[in-house]
Chain A
């Protein structure tokens, strides 16, 4: 009996192949690098930075960005250091963006995979529910939730997530339907494996590709939604701040302190671009045409 020798070194999973392709994508790598820098600074600056986010300097209100006193980003109307506030805002914005996305991802994947896997009446009912909730305008729903339940930090991202899992569920359900009839799922049934095992180890790992891409693109959207909410006064409250809040405050001082608007806007825009490039890179990397 011939034993076949292989031509590839240690097992390369499909994830490894995708990771390699991603690393070869320059735009994606640069973007990932920038995000990394922002994250590190968001972590470090509020702890080790020269100023705190709330300290008020009565004698240094509305100072333009300069090198003195380490007010590299200037100060705001109340005399608070903008460098610290921007990076503190980064913390909040990025956290909300990522956590919201994670919430939407988790609920969406579990719900969609289950609906797609079981199909039939259960699946139909599950998806009709999605359709119904979908019909309500998202922002409207978020605003209602927040107005009713108060302006809790956690609630903000739960409510955004509660709206976004719907699209995730739809995507995952579609993907699940596509692989449900495949032989390896049939083989799992033929082994009498319980449904939870099949969902966890056979279905979800194979549908998660497009979902990851969508999730990466969802992060900047969520950051933006938070900034809308902040702009409307519904986002995070003082003394915490987010980019949205900073931008909102900045618009009131366009003539006297343009940097108050510009700097957080630039950060927000750059971050969004970066996440978009990362998302594109992921999509190219995870494209199933890898064989």
Chain B
């Protein structure tokens, strides 16, 4: 088994927010974006993080990269604790940790050519390379991601969404980082473009040995890309398991609801009964007591309202945070069984 390169230990990110209650009084509340998440990623592995809006997955990715300072917890990268590094030391580490953003166009500086954009990491971390060497490297990576190298001098607004995303990918991969965080990289794309970008990422996954942290709300896409999947809800870890195990044997009611919510691209024939969650996701400023999911859980009991569930092992590679994970029965709620 390959060694773990990233270890996230009890990571917590809370934002103090001032709320105006009346004209003169205001109170400070805490927005609990990430609440005690722990996981690790091995060399070359792809871990998926799945969750809906407000679950904290984007905040998590920024906290790992130290773009946001974690409130508590550790991010350990190849043995070094990132939150304890000085700014310069952290900046040096950044060449190994890269990120791809959701909105392809807004992640590129509109005033720079894509050649310059892709070459920025080289300028920052390989200052010994002269202009020609940089241009060569940029052209090489452009070809690898499926962009014609001749387009180096064009500007982002001249490209489509899919092409812009390729530029973002090229920029992230050019330094051959050890880990790339992909923050919803295909959510803003059309189906056919999505397919192209997913296939590109899979190819890079196979050929480069880079580890990926793939964040998405779309389980079907995550299934294609990731070996292990972590399900987040309101800043907490609900379930983490290897891919097949998660899809075949989901133990957390939220995971089951997510799986059953996916519209099935096949007509009426095999439609199991869908689990519909009641209500809306609570605000991260005021998370429910006990298990944060209890307000919407079809199986919640009084105990769920009182006691925060700890992470329990279904198997060595499958953990779930639910008091009743043992009782989850396949037939009664008809979860979709994939594969």
Contacts and interface: CB of A to CB of B under 8 A. Distances in A.
Tell me if chains A and B make direct contact, with any CB pair below 8 A: yes
Interface of A: 1-6, 8, 10-14, 182-184, 186-193, 201-202, 205-206, 290-291
Contacts of A10: 153-154
Nearest to A205: B111
Contact of B147 (A3, A8, A193): A3
B108 A184 contact: yes
Contact of A11 (B91, B113, B199): B113
A192 B65 contact: no
Contact of A191 (B108, B120, B147, B159): B120
A183 B146 contact: no
Nearest to B113: A11
A192 B111 contact: no
B247 interface: no
B216 to A, nearest CB: 17
A3 B67 contact: no
A190 B99 contact: yes
Contact of A184 (B97, B107, B163): B107
B146 A14 contact: no
Interface in B99-154: 99, 101-103, 106-113, 120-121, 124, 146-148, 151, 153-154
Given A184-B109, A191-B120, A206-B109, A11 B153 contact: yes
B160 interface: yes
Given A11-B154, A191-B94, A191-B121, A4 B146 contact: yes
Contacts of A205: 109, 111
Interface of B: 62, 65, 67, 90-92, 94-95, 97-99, 101-103, 106-113, 120-121, 124, 146-148, 151, 153-155, 157-160, 162-163, 168, 171, 196, 199-200, 203
Contacts of B154: 6, 8, 10-12
B158 A8 contact: yes
A193 B95 CA distance: 11
B65 A190 contact: yes
B106 A184 contact: yes
30 contacts: A1-B199, A2-B146, A2-B196, A5-B148, A6-B148, A6-B154, A8-B154, A10-B154, A12-B154, A12-B158, A13-B113, A14-B111, A14-B155, A183-B102, A183-B103, A184-B110, A186-B62, A186-B107, A187-B108, A187-B171, A189-B67, A190-B94, A191-B120, A191-B121, A192-B92, A192-B95, A193-B120, A201-B112, A202-B109, A206-B109
B110 A206 contact: yes
B107 A183 contact: yes
Contacts of A14: 110-111, 155, 157
Contacts of A190: 65, 67, 94, 97-99
Nearest to B181: A190
A183 B106 contact: yes
B101 A187 contact: yes
Contacts of B94: 190-192
A286 to B, nearest CB: 12
Most buried by A among B111, B124, B162, B168: B111
A4 B203 contact: no
Contacts of A11: 113, 153-155, 158
Contacts of A3: 146-148
A101 B94 CA distance: 41
Nearest to A5: B148
A4 B62 CA distance: 31
Given A191-B94, A192-B92, 6 more contacts: A3-B148, A4-B162, A6-B148, A11-B158, A192-B124, A201-B112
Contact of A1 (B112, B121, B203): B203
Contacts of B199: 1
B83 to A, nearest CB: 16
Contacts of B106: 182-184
Contacts of A188: 109, 120
Contacts of A6: 148, 151, 154, 158-159
Contacts of A13: 111, 113, 155
Most buried by B among A1, A13, A187: A187
Contacts of B111: 13-14, 205-206
Nearest to A192: B91
Contact of A4 (B95, B147, B153, B171): B147
A285 to B, nearest CB: 15
